[in-house]
A and B are shown apart, each in its own frame.
Chain A
Amino acid sequence: MVTEEEITEMAAMMRITIDDHAEYVDKVQRMLDYFGMLDSAGVDDEEVLAQEVTPAQLRADEHHKYGMGTGDHIRAPRLG
């Protein structure tokens, strides 16, 4: 069970004002309690499927002219 204090503290860290207890704390608590059902999924031994992207597959940092005359921008590495 996630406590009210934990939710209030997290809201502050996410820069969200909680001005209505019923609207935020109670409903978020219900959401997190629902997520808690994952405990019974029996997937502890499951490997997480992930697509590895090596540095060689990333595009280089490049300086580009922005198309509409509003200044330049940096094209950052593509992360897959």
Chain B
Amino acid sequence: MDLDTPAHEIAGMVSAGMVSAEEVIERTLERMRQTEHLNIFISTNPCAISEARRIDDMVRTGSDPGRLAGVPVSIKDNICTRTMPTTCASRMLEGYVSPYEATVVERLRREGAIIVGKTNLDEFAMGLTTEFSVYGPTLNPRNPRYVPGGSSGGSAASVAAGAAAISMGSDTGGSVRNPASFCGVAGFKPTYGMVSRYGLVSYANSIEQVGPLARTIPDLALAMRVIAGPDPRDGTTAGARPVSDTGDGMDGKRIGIVEQMAPDSLHRGVRAVFERAVSGLESLGAICEAVSLEMVDYSVAAYYTITSTEAGSNLARYDNIRYGYGLDREGYEFHRYVTASRDRFGPEVKRRIIAGGFVPSAGYTGRYFLKALKVKSRLAREVNRLFGTYDYLVSPTVPVPPFRLGEMLDDPVGLFQLDINTVTANLTGKPAVSVPCGTHDGLPVGVQLMADSFRDGPLLGAARALEGIVP
């Protein structure tokens, strides 16, 4: 067994006693030490070895160690854990340890997964390069001079570097799929309601989902089988639905190529990988045709209008009154006290809070927020209409390959536009997956498949078929 072994094989070997969970975790911790320069983890689990020994004891005594027995799993640091801090990569939550555990973490542990550490992210998941972290940027394991994508950049990098077999990220506008594409791993955004958000620190509740990253599609499906399902602690979760990745083949499947997501201006390296992927799908018998989603051109503006508004509301709770950190109250008037405490937010978060206060404010609601909701509704109608004819929609995951650290830091709107292919799935609640399909100049490029709501299983089946033909 090496650290590139898929999670389902690791679990099988641990359950069969062919390798001990302790050995798996020791080797993973060693890999984490070797890759410290990539700045992947914010904190590590001091109990990982003892938890692995408990799994080995279960195997020895004939108890069922679970479907993820001994599998090293990393968790994005905006998902609550009781044994490690949850910082959201922000000074605002420095040292915060949650008194409860997120449902996804509970379910992973129950199936024998070993949480090895909490991964770096853009502060409060606002960004798509993992450069907006108070702990510094994560570097791309494929080439450390390049960004890993974001905001779940630490999660994607942990899987790419062999420091975890599976990682849990959160996807608000592409934050699982974008870093998956940039780091050359698979990433999945489930249908809204498939996975509990209980314990996910809120950024934009109406569209965000917890989603897995892994080296293979079967591992994404395995993770989904563990974490998906209704949760009485999250009223937005839907009823139980099976998640299989076997699918029923691609022969005769109709796939829409979204014109607006592969325009003439698409990066030539991304286009080359994308066209090879489409040809591959056709070679499996799929029927691929160009389709149009007119609202995609406005989707990014609508997405940032809605998410900024929800962020402004969600982050209002960080006022250092109900909970917070030690700030001397002497000499402060109330409002100045709150303002002083909120100085612990980083610049990107502050900008989005200001924008989030502005767009729903009196006099501007009709111009920004209401229009964004209408674009969201029109987009949902367009997408639903297409899914009346097509089984899947396909596009590049990100319109460009990974770029150098710092290259886009001063261009917030330019960064926004990189989300153009991913936000549609979030605004419409649909499932979408990024499959690593090739490279450009040695840097990974992903291809995205999207399906209708609650067709997560068939979508993973299609992704597995695509994965199978990637050279």
A binds B: yes
Chain A residues with CB under 8 Å of chain B are 2, 6-7, 10-11, 13-17, 20, 23-24, 27-28, 30-32, 34-39, 41, 43-44, 46-49, 59, 67-68, 70, 78-80
Interface pick from B271-279, B354-362, B455-463:
B354-362
Which one of A27, A38, A46 contacts B377 once the chains associate, using CB atoms below 8 Å? A46
- Check B99–A28 contact: CB distance below 8 A: no
- Check B301–A37 contact: CB distance below 8 A: yes
CA distance A79 to B376 in the complex (A): 21
CA distance A24 to B348 in the complex (A): 9
Tally of A-B Cβ pairs under 8 angstroms: 124
B135 at the A/B interface (Cβ < 8 Å)?
A: no
State which residues 349-372 of B face A: CB under 8 Å: 350-351, 353-359, 361, 367-368, 370-372
- Check B350–A24 contact: CB distance below 8 A: yes
A-B contact list, 16 entries, CB within 8 Å: A11-B357, A15-B319, A15-B335, A23-B351, A24-B354, A28-B358, A31-B351, A35-B304, A35-B359, A36-B367, A38-B305, A38-B375, A39-B367, A48-B370, A49-B380, A59-B235
Minimal beta-carbon separation of A12 from chain B (angstroms): 8
Which residues of the partner chain A approach B91 to less than 8 Å between Cβ atoms? none
B96 at the A/B interface (Cβ < 8 Å)?
A: no
Which residues of the partner chain B approach A34 to less than 8 Å between Cβ atoms? 301, 304, 413, 416
Using known A-B contacts A31-B355, A39-B367, determine if residue A17 contacts B298 with beta carbons closer than 8 Å.
Answer: no
Which residues of the partner chain A approach B342 to less than 8 Å between Cβ atoms? 15-17
- Check B374–A80 contact: CB distance below 8 A: no
Minimal beta-carbon separation of A41 from chain B (angstroms): 4
CA distance A2 to B358 in the complex (A): 10
Which one of A7, A41, A48, A78 contacts B295 once the chains associate, using CB atoms below 8 Å? A41
Pick the 7 closest A-B CB pairs, nearest first.
A43-B374, A78-B235, A38-B371, A46-B374, A14-B357, A49-B377, A41-B298
Q: Which of A13, A31, A32, A67 has the most CB of B within 10 A?
A: A31
- Check B301–A13 contact: CB distance below 8 A: no
B226 at the A/B interface (Cβ < 8 Å)?
A: no
CA distance A7 to B374 in the complex (A): 25
Looking across the interface, which residue of chain B has its beta carbon closest to that of A44? B374
Using known A-B contacts A15-B319, A41-B298, determine if residue A80 contacts B343 with beta carbons closer than 8 Å.
Answer: no
B252 at the A/B interface (Cβ < 8 Å)?
A: no
- Check B236–A80 contact: CB distance below 8 A: yes
CA distance A27 to B408 in the complex (A): 13
Which residues of the partner chain A approach B405 to less than 8 Å between Cβ atoms? none
Looking across the interface, which residue of chain B has its beta carbon closest to that of A14? B357
CA distance A37 to B302 in the complex (A): 9
- Check B358–A27 contact: CB distance below 8 A: no
B406 at the A/B interface (Cβ < 8 Å)?
A: no
Looking across the interface, which residue of chain A has its beta carbon closest to that of B370? A48
Which residues of the partner chain A approach B34 to less than 8 Å between Cβ atoms? none
Minimal beta-carbon separation of B2 from chain A (angstroms): 39
CA distance A80 to B193 in the complex (A): 11
- Check B351–A24 contact: CB distance below 8 A: yes
CA distance A68 to B301 in the complex (A): 43
Which residues of the partner chain A approach B355 to less than 8 Å between Cβ atoms? 28, 31-32, 35
Minimal beta-carbon separation of B383 from chain A (angstroms): 12
CA distance A23 to B340 in the complex (A): 18
